[in-house]
């Protein structure tokens, strides 16, 4: 999310985290927790502070939190069931 939008909403960085870019480079970005509202649901999510020219976008963790998946054929979001799985 562009940093200027997050700051305008009152969100301030709380930590830094390492990310791997599509070209395999590693970068460190500021992150914070923020409530996101989407289609009547509100959930706490991690937001990443990006440059102001970055497009706002949702990541896979946010999709999973809201129970959504990407339908790439019809270019839309579709509801999906959450997966509960025991880890050993």
Share above pLDDT 70 across residues of the chain, in percent, rounded to a whole number = 99
Query: How many independent structural domains does the chain possess?
Result: 1
Domain of 46 in residue numbering reads as 3-79
What is the pLDDT averaged over residues 18-28? 94
* Distant-in-sequence, close-in-space partners of 85: CB < 8 Å, separation ≥ 6: none
pTM reported for the whole predicted model: 0.79
CA pair distance 17, 71, nearest whole angstrom: 29
Q: Is residue 34 part of a domain?
A: yes
pLDDT of residue 88: 66
User: Does residue 88 or residue 49 have the better pLDDT?
Assistant: 49
Does any domain span residue 85?
no
Copy the structure tokens of residue 37.
């509202």
Residue 87: inside a domain: no
* Segment 25-49 mean pLDDT: 95
In a domain, 60, yes or no: yes
């Amino acid at each position: 999310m562009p940093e200027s939008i997050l700051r305008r909403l009152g969100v301030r960085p709380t930590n830094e985290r390492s990310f791997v870019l599509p070209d395999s480079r590693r970068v460190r970005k500021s992150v914070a927790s923020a409530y996101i509202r989407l289609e009547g649901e509100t959930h706490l999510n991690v937001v990443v502070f990006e440059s102001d020219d970055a497009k706002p976008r949702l990541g896979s963790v946010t999709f999973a939190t809201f129970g959504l998946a990407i339908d790439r054929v019809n270019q839309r979001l579709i509801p999906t069931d959450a997966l509960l799985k025991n880890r050993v």
